[in-house]
Chain A
Amino acid sequence: MTAAGIIADILLGLAALIVVGASVGIVVMPDAYAKLHFVTPATLVAPALVTLAVLVQAGLSENAGESVLALVFLMIGGPFLSHATIRAIRVRETGDWRQPAGGIKPGGEAGQ
């Protein structure tokens, strides 16, 4: 096996490990806010590692270019989507995404 193959395998192993960990986190965490933290590694970090692995394995080729393109779309869309998801869940739970005028008490309820 070449050095490039070994490096690619290490990167792929890391990516797979991150995805498995994120999947466990999504199952274990109690609510959607906490679960959403585990989507980010699978949306940003693991695709970056996969793209690097393709780049190492295939060099500067069409495959690597399209992997980078997919990564760019994920990196642009991921944070917007996470923000929109949090906003939607909050609107669904409280009726509005903004903080109430009286602030939020330590228990999580709106103050007067």
Chain B
Amino acid sequence: MTTGFVIAAIVMLVAMVPAGVVLCRGDLPASLVAYEFVTSVAVMVLALLAQAFRRPAEFELPVLMAMLLFGSGLVFVRTIERWL
């Protein structure tokens, strides 16, 4: 285990909490912005944990999530723009 990577992942997970509060309690545009922040931080956390515990196979997760972040973000944005 690489301690620095684990600590960085924990710090980033804790940093997601304030943004999570905005995501849950803010108005719709602010929630969307917080969602984008949380997902991009989640990509980093997954990469950090995969490196920390030396599991190369789990590096697929951040790659897939980075791809899905773009698609899902655009879906949310379009939904807000047109229907909400």
Contacts and interface: CB of A to CB of B under 8 A. Distances in A.
Q: Chain A at the B interface: mostly helix, strand, loop or mixed?
A: helix
A1 B41 CA distance: 27
A71 B81 CA distance: 27
B21 A85 contact: no
A47 B43 contact: yes
Query: How big is the B interface, by class?
Result: 35 or more
A88 B74 CA distance: 10
Query: How big is the A interface, by class?
Result: 35 or more
Interface of B: 2, 4-5, 7-8, 11-12, 14-19, 21-22, 27-30, 32-34, 36-37, 40-41, 43-44, 47-48, 50-51, 56, 59-60, 62-63, 65-67, 69-70, 73-74, 77-78, 80-81, 84
B69 A50 contact: no
